[in-house]
Amino acid sequence: MTENPAEIGRRAFLLAATAVTVAGATGVAAPAHAAPARRKGRSTMTARSVGGYEVIPLLDAAGPFFLDRQVAFPAATPRDWELARAVDPGAFGPGQTWQLDFRCYAIRGPRDRLMLVDTGVGPDGSPAGGWAPTPGRLPDELAWVGIDPADVDTVVLTHLHEDHFGWSVGLDGTPVFPNARYVVQQREVAALPAGDAARSYVVDPLRAAGQLDEVDGVTRLAAAPRAGGSVRVVPTPGHTPGHQSVVLDDGHDQVVVTGDVLVHAVQLIDPAVAYRYEADPDLARRTRERLLAEARARGAVLATAHLTEPWTELR
């Protein structure tokens, strides 16, 4: 019997396989109030707290990239790779292979606030399926931490690459998070070329549903005066024209959900190392250098999308 693709997508959302979640890289120091593990995976999953907000890593998928690492980062030197291996050894497969995670983050806040940063690779049939390991496992990850998609009030899309918006809508275009506003920078949407999969797959359906929230520049998403802390999006362009990151800050601790400002530990070692798929490599470098300098000055923790451990504290 031929099945409706939309029904297949809904079933994939409900029945996606159990994910393996990672956290706690060597050399990473937790900010205040690191929560205990919920379960075991490749290593122990930990949530991080900033004021009244809890940040929870959710692993949607993991696997090798389709390009060797030297091809993806052609300017990296042997010394860069040696130092990067010490920071993120899990990213180094046999030979020149590059292993990466595809990670989203949930943010729990006071008064039942629930946010999600990025939505991963998505189900089989999503635009990322041509090169990324689909189906993703985000549905099961959300269920594991007790999050109902209907309770999510904000979804931040750091940018509109296929591996960051995959679970935003089902294969039939229905928003997966029916009560959420989906926050994206105006510049990101405006820069999409004609025929780009992001426009037809996610932007147009979200706009039709009245759930697309195009913001312009730094935008505060939430604040918790009594519990402490705020959540805001900040433009971090270069990887894409309207790329944004999420900053949680309580005046003492800070977590920066970086998106693709950096995609491999080699760019922590040398921020000048460009990634093959940056829209504007010079702007991406300047953004990365600025973000890393500010994070180091603040003692911030980076929450990354593609390193094989979610938390990185710069020293």
Q: How do residues 143-169 score in pLDDT, each as one tens digit?
A: 999 999 999 999 999 999 999 999 999
Share of the chain above pLDDT 70, in %: 85
**For the segment 288-302, what is each residue's pLDDT rounded down to a tens digit?**
999 999 999 999 999
pTM: 0.86
DSSP 8-state code for residue 195: T
Q: Is 154 left (phi over 0), alpha (psi -120 to 50) or beta?
A: beta
Summarised one tens digit per residue, pLDDT across range 74-96 is: 999 999 999 999 999 999 999 99
pLDDT of residue 315: 67
Above pLDDT 90, what percent of the chain? 82
CA distances 257 to 67, 191, 304, Å, are 25, 22, 6
SS3 state at 175? strand
Question: Residue 156: which of 47, 265, 264, 235 has the closest Cα?
Answer: 235
CA distances from 172 to 6, 116, 199, 201 (A): 5, 21, 14, 9
- Mean pLDDT of all residues in 95-119: 96
Catalogue all structural domains in the chain, each as residue range(s) with its CATH number.
5-313 (3.60.15.10)
Torsion from C-alpha of 198, 214, 157, 135, nearest 10 degrees: -40
Phi, psi of 236 (to 5 degrees): -135, 70
The Cα–Cα gap between 161 and 198 comes to 7
Q: What is the pLDDT of residues 231-272, one digit of tens each?
A: 999 999 999 999 999 999 999 999 999 999 999 999 999 999
Here the tokens at position 190 are 């405006």
Separation of alpha carbons 95 and 298, rounded Å: 37
Q: Looking at this protein, which amino acid is placed at residue 311? A: W
State the pLDDT confidence band at 54, using cuts at 50, 70 and 90.
very high
Q: According to the model, what pLDDT value does residue 199 have?
A: 97
Question: Cα separation of 131 and 224, whole Å?
Answer: 40
